[in-house]
Amino acid sequence: MFSCGTCGVQHDTDDVSFSADVPLQWNQLEPEDKAKSLLAGEQCVIEAGEEKSYFIRACLDIPIQGGEHTFTWGVWCSLSEENYAEVSESWYDVDRVKLGPYFGWLCTQLPEYADTGFLKALLHQRAPGLRPLVELEPTDHPLAVDQRDGIPMDRMAEIATQLWHGTAAMPE
């Protein structure tokens, strides 16, 4: 729980969520390429020219400092063709947790962080029904630092306030 800087009431970070609808690349597609491409609930295959690119939805968890809470960003990551095929074939297989981890690029721009597109990551499979977990490459990028060290509650409160109330500027 945090006291909201915008409306003054208590919000719970567990009630705030973020989930990207499409991978970053989707919005850059020409209409004719969009028509050839596949956008499903959990998977996406972009076909542009002769190139095919493969994407999957995943969860990027950030631990919140000072408690057991975690904030989950709903993101898209790219996968190689080979790994995408393996993920697709093992979709309902309880043993899929033994597969991977898979390399992927983060293909979501998160609000409140600069340049989160194309960060390197490993995707760890979970049981069927759960999206894979994203482990960012341990760089100095603020998102990678927050994933590694946890995010301070006051910073999380700022982000949650933005998500709750939209992208309007915070009052000074």
Q: How far is the CB of 11 from Zn ion (least distance, A)?
A: 5
CA distance 85 to 153: 39
Q: How far is the CB of 164 from Zn ion (least distance, A)?
A: 5
CA distance 134 to 116: 13
Q: Does 158 bind Zn ion (CB under 5 A)?
A: no
Instruction: Rank residues 6 and 70 by Cβ distance to Zn ion and give the closer one.
Output: 6
Token digits for 67?
A: 């408690």
CA distance 143 to 76: 15
The residue number with the shortest CB distance to Zn ion is 4
Token digits for 147?
A: 């994933």
Residues 4-33, interacting with Zn ion (CB under 5 A): 4, 6-7
Instruction: Rank residues 4 and 122 by Cβ distance to Zn ion and give the closer one.
Output: 4
Q: Which stretch binds Zn ion (CB under 5 A): 2-10, 69-77, 91-99, 134-142?
A: 2-10
Alpha helices in 62-141 (DSSP H): 81-89
Q: Which helix (H) or strand (E) holds 59?
A: strand 51-63
Give me the residues that bind Zn ion (CB under 5 A), please: 4, 6-7
